[in-house]
Amino acid sequence: MNATQPQTRKTDLTVTHVLAELLERLERSAEPVGAEQYRSVVQHLLSELGDVEPGKALGDLLDSHPAAAELYENANYQYAGLCRSALDASLTAERQAKEILARAMHRAVNRSTIQPKEDTDHGKS
């Protein structure tokens, strides 16, 4: 009989940290980066992130590496949505969008209620 072994999670984040740092450098590079190189780093980092023990150490790593945090969030979207996105920034953007739309609608309503002055001479002087 085959017994399934419980999956052990990594607590040493050295490799994960190196890959996260490399991804940050690739993201900010002024020089063009080859697609294969980028894909390789992303795939290796995804593999590492999948094996890492969730907790404070992982949270700290993701807080200091935005590209890795975005990758982690996208990889785990089905479980937690955009759980690492800044809620305050999202709410501020939503409020601003609502205000802009409300102002635009207000202007449109005001324009449609103002009737042009009727020319009683019909253009004759």
Is residue 64 one of the residues assigned to a domain? yes
Same-domain pairing of 77 and 99? no
Is residue 50 one of the residues assigned to a domain? yes
Quote the number of domains for the chain: 2
pLDDT, tens digit (0-9, with 9 covering 90-100), for 16-25:
999 999 999 9
Give percent of the chain with pLDDT exceeding 90. 37
Same-domain pairing of 72 and 110? no
Start-to-end CA distance of the chain, whole Å, equals 105
Q: Which residues contact 74 (CB under 8 A, 6 or more apart)?
A: none
pLDDT at position 28 is 93
Range of the domain at 78: 10-84
Is residue 1 one of the residues assigned to a domain? no
Computed on alpha carbons and rounded to an integer, the radius of gyration of the chain in Å comes to 27
Residue keyed to tokens 């200091």: 64
